[in-house]
Chain A
Amino acid sequence: QKEVEQNSGPLSVPEGAIASLNCTYSDRGSQSFFWYRQYSGKSPELIMSIYSNGDKEDGRFTAQLNKASQYVSLLIRDSQPSDSATYLCAVRNYGQNFVFGPGTRLSVLP
């Protein structure tokens, strides 16, 4: 069973701090990696996608991928209360088979 693991949280950070979210995956053949944000009662929305080892930055968000360690992370700089949500790590293994982690709940305290 291919697995994606995340700490469920909640992860609490003060406003303006850096939030660090982590994800590990079990299938070395995984090809594509995604971070989604999901507000309570809403559908997931894409924040970042990353396909190659290293860092990818988009505004306040940086995704990091290390395929040797089977590890993906998401950094949120200058965290805002509006960033409070559940963050889902997703991995595409083959075809359109996607496996999601259970999500990490982030709380940004004003």
Chain B
Amino acid sequence: EAQVTQNPRYLITVTGKKLTVTCSQNMNHEYMSWYRQDPGLGLRQIYYSMNVEVTDKGDVPEGYKVSRKEKRNFPLILESPSPNQTSLYFCASSLGRDRAKNIQYFGAGTRLSVL
């Protein structure tokens, strides 16, 4: 089954404790993105990647890191989480740049609470 898989689905942590949220897709998609969703603000793009070893900042990159060492994986790293990073996070992937290919498919989401 074609899918984007995020883990964990739920995470409660404390301020300053490094964490990684994993994202994997099995569709051989070139492009992958991370978003956070907060009430009233919609989805905001954190980082995106257009290929292996190619990443770029979205609209809210502060406090986050990403890496793209393999095509299928795009982990989101919070080196020192803070309470304002409490949010619902989504990973998404799309096949490519062309119109027919840039439709994004989303993972199930990771709900993160930073105490």
Contact = CB atoms under 8 A, between A and B. Distances in A.
Contact of A95 (B48, B90, B99): B48
Interface string A71-110: 0000000000000000010101001111111110000000
Interface string B96-107: 010100111111
A43 B43 contact: no
Contact-residue size bin, chain A (C-beta under 8 Å from the other chain): 20 to 34
A98 B47 CA distance: 10
B31 A46 contact: no
A49 interface: yes
Interface residues of B, number: 27
Given A44-B90, A44-B106, A46-B104, A96 B42 contact: no
A88 B103 contact: no
Interface centre among B42, B50, B104 (most CB of A within 10 A): B42
Contacts of B42: 4, 88, 100-103
Nearest to B57: A97
Contacts of B99: 32, 49, 51
B111 to A, nearest CB: 9
Main secondary structure, interface of A, reads: strand
A34 interface: yes
B108 interface: yes
B33 A46 contact: no
Contacts of A4: 42
B107 A100 contact: no
Interface in B3-54: 31, 33, 35, 40-45, 48-50
A43 B107 CA distance: 7
A8 B33 CA distance: 25
A56 B84 CA distance: 40
Given A43-B107, A44-B106, A95 B40 contact: no
Given A46-B104, A49-B103, A97 B45 contact: yes
Interface of B: 31, 33, 35, 40-45, 48-50, 56, 58-59, 90, 94, 97, 99, 102-109
